[in-house]
Amino acid sequence: MQPRGRRPFSRGGGRGERAQPEGTPNPQGRGESSRGQQGVSRARSAGRVESQQSTGPSSRGHGSPRNNPRGGRGESSTTPRGTAGPSYDSQRATQGVTDLSSHQQIEANVRTIAVRRPGLGNLGERCRLVVNTFPTKVQPRLVYQYDADIKQVQPISANIRQTSATVNMRIVSRLQEEEQGIFTPRAVYDSQRKMYAVHDLALGSNGSREWNFTIDGMGYEVRVKRVGEPIDTRFESNSRNWTLIRPKHSVLHRFIEGAHPQENSVIEARQALDVALRMTPLTMLKIGQERRTFYPPSSGQYVGLGIDLCRGYFQSLRPAPSRLLLNVDVCTGAMYHPGPLPDLACQFLSLQHADSTARIRNLARTLKNDQQKRQQLVQFIAGVRVQWPIAGTGTMARALKGFSAKDAHGESFARRSDGRTTTIARYFSEALNQRLVFPELLCVQFGRPEVGRGALVPMELCTVLPDQPLRTALPEEFAEAQRAFHKKHREFSAQPPKDRLELVKHGLQVLGYSQSDYVRQFGVTVLSSPLSTQARILQPPILRYRPAPGSSDDRPTVRPRNGQWSMTNKHFYKPTVIQTWALISCVNDPDYEATFLETDAPRLVSSFMTACQESGVRVVTQNPVVTRCFDSRLDILMALDGVEKECIERSGKPTTLYFVILPDQGHQEVYRTVKNWGDVMRGIPTQCMRRKNSLRSESNFWLNVLHKSINAKLGGINMILDRGVPLLGDPQNGTMVMGADVRHPNLGSFMQGSYTGVVSSLDAHASKYAATMRVQDGPVEMIQDLGDMTAHLLERYMRYRRQKEGVTNPAPKRIIFYRDGVSDGQFQTSLDEELTQIQAVCRSLKIRPKITFIVVGKRHHLRSVCHMHSTILTPRLPDRFFNGDGNCLAGTVIDRDVVHPTEFDFFLQSHKHGISERGTSRPAHYSVLYDENQLSPDVIQTLSYALCHVYARSNRAVSIPAPVYYAHQICARGGIHFSPRNPGGEVAQISRSSPSPEHSSIPPQQEAFQLLHPAQEDAMFFA
């Protein structure tokens, strides 16, 4: 085992040299940070916080040796980095790593949650990028923190959120306007509970005061209380409840300089500055769902289904090495279309009629007679605030819960004044002195009228208030509408990199930082020029296929170019064999049925056979069983079972593959029925396609189908990574690569648990994968059964290596675990609850693989613009660095300037953004939480980039490593693990309000969940 070598970082010119020693790895290439919010106790404990003096942009780099695998106390490690297999020279690879002592020194006693940054990568060709972050300067201020608690005086229901962010901001704005003697200069408020001020508010001897306000007919009580007792400390916090920050000595300044851990005091100080930056947009612009997104007035465009798309801005203050950066990005938000509630309902349910009266009457009939559509509408609009008139000239506004069982004529109640029974229609007609036009419409329900805590209001009187973010997904039955909506969303939001950067710079003026009194009071200055940083373009891995017959090349390989490649004149590395197969049409269309057996089916069979021959797949049975059925669940199941019986009678062997043709519209139920039958009930691979695709006869289409799904699904391997990729390819020192993800239920459906998916590689090249899935209480991000799932996958990994690769000691020497979906506020929880499960399983199996745990995230707002397309920097770089649309090339990695001050993370753009898509590429964010393998940045970046090329369903590199992508697909298929005969076991869409414990549906759902059929356990059924 060789110790890690080091060499000083070369600062020559920023372009660097591309040549590396032969054999050295030389690849070319669903959360903004929430630790600031989740890492602080919700006890509102902090007395005063003082902002810090930032030095602005710095040319210094990061730096110190790695400590223990989990960060911890920060002792310098002198242990070797580890070996990486015969085709990978660990010593030479680590020589390219920059010693952080030449960039930014991280003090040895600084504790971290994730792995301390070990150095900077050095492989690849260097280039310059402009990123959508702006350096800040901060002058010292003493900041006091307060708890601002806003409550409704008489809440409608404990199940409904009492106040929205918009209402909260209106109340606090009014408070500060009427109490200028206390709030001068004005305090800043995060729209939830936290308030900060640069002076001690005069709240009385007990540091607390209450006020009462009326907004939209509802009374509110406001209580502002100082939190904690201020303590005069010059350098750093000695209490978790407050922070005092002074230039050059503050905990926040020391943190970004690598001299202090990210404790609560650091988080509190950064939050105070972040709220100050958000205060002006919070008071002037529409607030998005994230509360970090803001939308200017008149920025909406109606796109159907009662939805407006709005273009706005995202902002967040992020710590970086030696500076604080303001991340500003363009974003697109979906809002409910404001206006009369009946119109919104008609738009959502696609009830169209030229005459508005006829349209509303049709709505009334639909809601009474079609329970499914009524439930879909409730799911879509539950929680939306609507307004209606009351006696006199006033109005009231509430959050909608659902609809009444009867219309306005049928619903009645006893008046409180005299006890006389009256109908809803008569009551409102008398109160408003006007008759209802559509009393046959259902009433809107607010709160819980059945227990005397709520109200029923005629639907025609209700108006949807503007500026309300969409908070639920469209129902599954709206598949076609979903596709249309997502297409419009992409078209609306897509902006080429240069245009996006210009919009971001314009956003600085829209968000009003330079004119903001709040920003000025807190001593913050945002520089107008975005940050420029150095990046590197990694070389892609070499992919190996199988030589085609007659080819002179006995080892056909291909090196991807900018994230894509062609397999022309190449066969799959390990082509599968199709013994028997069948073709079934589930299209209930007389015109299609008339031509299917005689014309369409023979043409499909012929095209498929040609594609198999060109790719090396051998088909034993030339004439498949062909049949058709209706699209009902029972008929489909009977047809599948019947075809299976016929195939066995013909050949004496079970069917290898089923082709199932789905209808173009409304095929979701058919798809779930087929997949449940194949993956869960029978263990037979199925390949579904829509009718319009089945009519295509060109061989390239069927080659694509083989490449994307069939070969890998039937046990074949499309291609493998050739020599030179670190940690892979050595059967005697196996590396098991894993990916994990969790998919949560949509808002509006509490009866759906969270689906968890975990996949692992089986072979030495990490090209073949197995998967397992569970359902757990939702929404819970941590995988509760990760230990059992890992044990299951480890057993399959060792069985495959022993039986297929002939390895006598099949236990993995290393586990590289990629975890998707964990925000940095959950890093510690993930280590405590997930990593420990993996370690415990390894101990129980008496194996000792070294584990590296990496979180991969896409929910961030960092975007980059290449040098040649930016007006910020000169001189221009060569065209080879960038796409024609201004996006960076696949393989672009950023590991400096915009990363965490002390922890090991980097950004990697592994895919090519299609020019036809017009948008700006988003890199993946990798955070290394734990690393027993002591891998260098070059090794982790090279390996991660290479794994983005082994995704079986594409001949393009994907945006995240293939095992993570597979885990995401596994979770998306959760619905097929419930019997089609009992679809209610999977999901029941009901209102957004929280269920009572006695009605919780999670245990029945876990009981109804069906595990994968054993015959599919070693197959890539998810491909």
The half-sphere exposure of 529 on its side-chain side, counting CA atoms within 13 A, is: 10
Tokens representing residue 337 in the block: 């279309």
Cα angle 559, 561, 563 (rounded to 5 degrees) comes to 105
Given a contact cutoff of 8 angstroms between Cβ atoms, the answer to whether 877 and 127 are in contact is: yes
Q: Phi and psi for 253 in degrees, rounded to 5?
A: -65, -45
Domains of the chain and CATH, by start: 339-465 (2.170.260.10), 575-713 (3.40.50.2300), 726-859+925-939+949-1011 (3.30.420.10)
**Count of C-beta atoms within a 10 Å radius of residue 902:** 31
Q: Looking at residues 871-896, what average pLDDT do you find?
A: 67
DSSP element (H, E) containing 188: strand 188-189
Given a contact cutoff of 8 angstroms between Cβ atoms, the answer to whether 9 and 536 are in contact is: no
Q: Which residues contact 506 (CB under 8 A, 6 or more apart)?
A: none
Q: What's the rounded Cα separation, in Å, for the pair 820 and 782?
A: 11
CA dihedral (240, 244, 249, 254) positive or negative? positive
Cα angle 5, 6, 10 (rounded to 5 degrees) comes to 145
154 three-class SS: coil
Q: Which of 360, 361, 408, 371 is nearest to 388 (CA)?
A: 408
pLDDT band at 552 (very low <50, low <70, confident <90, very high): low
Q: Which of 843, 848, 788, 844 is nearest to 815 (CA)?
A: 848
Angle between helices 633-651 and 668-675 (to 10 degrees): 40
- For residue 28, what is the DSSP state? B
State the first-to-last Cα distance of the chain, in angstroms, to the nearest integer: 38
Q: For residue 450, what pLDDT is reported?
A: 58
Q: Phi and psi for 915 in degrees, rounded to 5?
A: -60, -35
Does pLDDT of 432 surpass 90?
no
Q: Which of 29, 123, 85, 1 is nearest to 728 (CA)?
A: 85
Does pLDDT of 540 surpass 90?
yes
Task: Compute, in degrees rounded to 10, the torsion defined by CA atoms 672, 677, 680, 684.
Answer: -120
Given a contact cutoff of 8 angstroms between Cβ atoms, the answer to whether 771 and 759 are in contact is: yes
Q: 412-414 and 543-544 as β-strands: parallel, antiparallel, unpaired? A: unpaired
User: Which of 476-480, 505-509, 936-940 comes out lowest in average pLDDT?
Assistant: 476-480
Q: Looking at residues 669-689, what average pLDDT do you find?
A: 91
Q: For residue 418, what pLDDT is reported?
A: 79
Q: For residue 772, what pLDDT is reported?
A: 95
Report the DSSP beta bridge partners of residue 326: 134, 317
Given a contact cutoff of 8 angstroms between Cβ atoms, the answer to whether 508 and 345 are in contact is: no
Helices marked H in 163-214: 165-178
Q: What's the rounded Cα separation, in Å, for the pair 867 and 887?
A: 10
Q: What is the DSSP string of 322-376?
A: TEEEEEEEEEEEEEEPPEEHHHHHHHHTT---SSHHHHHHHHHHHHHH-HHHHHH
Residues of the chain with pLDDT > 70, as a percent, come to 79
Strands (E), 244-338: 286-287, 293-295, 300-302, 307-320, 323-336
User: Which of 250-254, 754-758, 841-845 comes out lowest in average pLDDT?
Assistant: 250-254
**Count of C-beta atoms within a 10 Å radius of residue 807:** 16
Stronger pLDDT, 914 or 484, i.e. the higher one: 484
pLDDT digits (tens, 9 = 90+) for 134-171: 999 988 788 899 999 999 886 544 334 456 788 899 99
Q: For residue 1018, what pLDDT is reported?
A: 85
Tokens representing residue 945 in the block: 């980039």
Q: Which of 542, 962, 968, 954 is nearest to 763 (CA)?
A: 962
Q: Could you tell me how far CA 206 lies from the centroid of its own chain? A: 45
**Count of C-beta atoms within a 10 Å radius of residue 498:** 18
Q: Looking at residues 236-260, what average pLDDT do you find?
A: 61
Q: Which residues contact 17 (CB under 8 A, 6 or more apart)?
A: none
How much is the mean pLDDT over the chain? 81
Q: 686-690 and 657-662 as β-strands: parallel, antiparallel, unpaired? A: parallel
781 three-class SS: coil
Q: Looking at residues 676-694, what average pLDDT do you find?
A: 90
Q: Looking at residues 215-236, what average pLDDT do you find?
A: 66
**Count of C-beta atoms within a 10 Å radius of residue 695:** 14
pLDDT digits (tens, 9 = 90+) for 818-859: 999 899 899 999 999 999 999 999 999 999 999 999 999 998
Q: For residue 872, what pLDDT is reported?
A: 44
Going across the sheet that includes 339-340, the strands are 339-340, 463-464, 385-389, 395-399
Among 403-412, 629-638, 898-907, top mean pLDDT goes to 898-907
769 three-class SS: strand
CA dihedral (106, 536, 955, 695) positive or negative? positive
Does pLDDT of 354 surpass 90?
no
The half-sphere exposure of 768 on its side-chain side, counting CA atoms within 13 A, is: 26
User: Which of 237-246, 564-573, 836-845 comes out lowest in average pLDDT?
Assistant: 237-246
Does pLDDT of 901 surpass 90?
yes
Does pLDDT of 939 surpass 80?
yes
Q: For residue 88, what pLDDT is reported?
A: 35
pLDDT digits (tens, 9 = 90+) for 377-395: 998 999 899 999 988 778 8
Given a contact cutoff of 8 angstroms between Cβ atoms, the answer to whether 242 and 248 are in contact is: no
pLDDT band at 68 (very low <50, low <70, confident <90, very high): low
Tokens representing residue 47 in the block: 């007395």
Given a contact cutoff of 8 angstroms between Cβ atoms, the answer to whether 227 and 44 are in contact is: yes
Q: For residue 205, what pLDDT is reported?
A: 86
Q: Looking at residues 639-649, what average pLDDT do you find?
A: 88
Strands (E), 885-971: 892-894, 905-909, 924-931
Q: Phi and psi for 57 in degrees, rounded to 5?
A: -60, 140
Stronger pLDDT, 28 or 702, i.e. the higher one: 702
Q: Which residues contact 862 (CB under 8 A, 6 or more apart)?
A: 131, 132, 133, 327, 329, 898, 907, 922, 923, 925
Q: What's the rounded Cα separation, in Å, for the pair 203 and 148?
A: 12
Does pLDDT of 33 surpass 60?
no
Tokens representing residue 972 in the block: 């998306």
**Residues of the chain by 3-state class (helix, strand, coil), percent to 5:** 30, 25, 45
pLDDT digits (tens, 9 = 90+) for 649-674: 888 888 899 999 988 876 788 898 99
Given a contact cutoff of 8 angstroms between Cβ atoms, the answer to whether 587 and 542 are in contact is: no
Among 150-154, 617-621, 706-710, top mean pLDDT goes to 617-621
Q: Which of 742, 734, 860, 867 is nearest to 804 (CA)?
A: 734
Q: Which residues contact 107 (CB under 8 A, 6 or more apart)?
A: 64, 74, 258, 259
Q: For residue 493, what pLDDT is reported?
A: 83
pLDDT digits (tens, 9 = 90+) for 974-1018: 889 888 765 544 443 333 333 444 444 455 677 888 899 999 988
| pTM (2 d.p.) | 0.85
